[in-house]
Structure 1
């Protein structure tokens, strides 16, 4: 499995634990913690202005954004998108509360599973225009990730073994 995919999956586990006791209003059904979803909603198309799937709200999307390898390190950028529901004018507080719980969790669990090291700064943002009654905010994080290293042992497929460090 790809190292960025492992990072996304580990972040999903951490965020599920960090937000599990946070009870938020849902448009349908009882109030509940946010669902944590890797990538996109199942029937989501990444189009600006498309309203979220009502049955999924509240949720946090854990979305890989970009990667980069330099001589010093491999890096991955992951965006965490919190979406909540509230008809109240102070509903903007809900996604910020979700992001704060996540922020505290990732800052206190470094490195993540002894494999991914959070690189500061963490950036978070909330657009001024909100798709009321939905409220959205996101956090952008950068992580060092393992890079392949070659060994002298031979692999049957490529003639070399690749290990991550």
Structure 2
């Protein structure tokens, strides 16, 4: 029997947990003067944010771990993942550095330890992007890469 028990959803959850561990000690600026914190890590998409009440608390920094799709070919199966980082800085000249720094450090850690759990393994290529248009004073950068997924094979029965 060729039962696959771990899915792309499991992979995203494992990867998000791994990223939480990597960034837990990062202290990044928030919208509240004098308050710094580690980025919140979300899977898929952002939930409801505090945009209606800015005084309710910081909504940045955050990281999204998103599944984009997969390719299942004869020689293996891989999933495409995007990580999006959003930080806050009122420095219009250097604010872009924070999300790029977070992504670079994540990439270094993921490539140094590519087995993220179960059958899932980080693979190259990595592609990093820093959009020219930024939602100042928030700064966004993203990166995409591949993760090896379990492959399903045809079962034969008599």
Establish whether TM, by shorter chain, passes 0.5.
Answer: yes
CA RMSD of aligned residues (A): 2.2
Q: Who is 2:39 aligned against?
A: 34
Question: Is 1:56 aligned to residue 59 of structure 2?
Answer: yes
The structural deviation recorded for 1:43 is: 3.0
TM-score by length of structure 1 reads 0.80
Aligned ranges 1:61-140 → 2 under 5 Å: 61-88=64-91, 89-140=93-144
Greater length-normalized contact order (CA 8 Å, ≥ 6 residues apart): 2
Structure 2 SS opposite 1:12: helix
Report how many residues are paired. Answer: 146
> Runs ≥4 in structure 1, deviation > 4 angstroms?
150-153
The structural deviation recorded for 1:151 is: 5.4
Residue segments in structure 1 that go unaligned for 5+ positions in a row: 45-50, 154-165
Alpha-carbon distance in structure 2 between the residues aligned to 1:36 and 1:63: 11
Q: Residue 15 of structure 1 contacts residue 105 of structure 1 at CA under 8 Å; is this kept in 2? A: no
What do residues 8-42 of structure 1 show as CA deviations (whole Å, max 9, x unaligned)? 11111111111111100011372101011101111
Alpha-carbon distance in structure 1 between the residues aligned to 2:88 and 2:116: 30
The structural deviation recorded for 1:127 is: 0.6
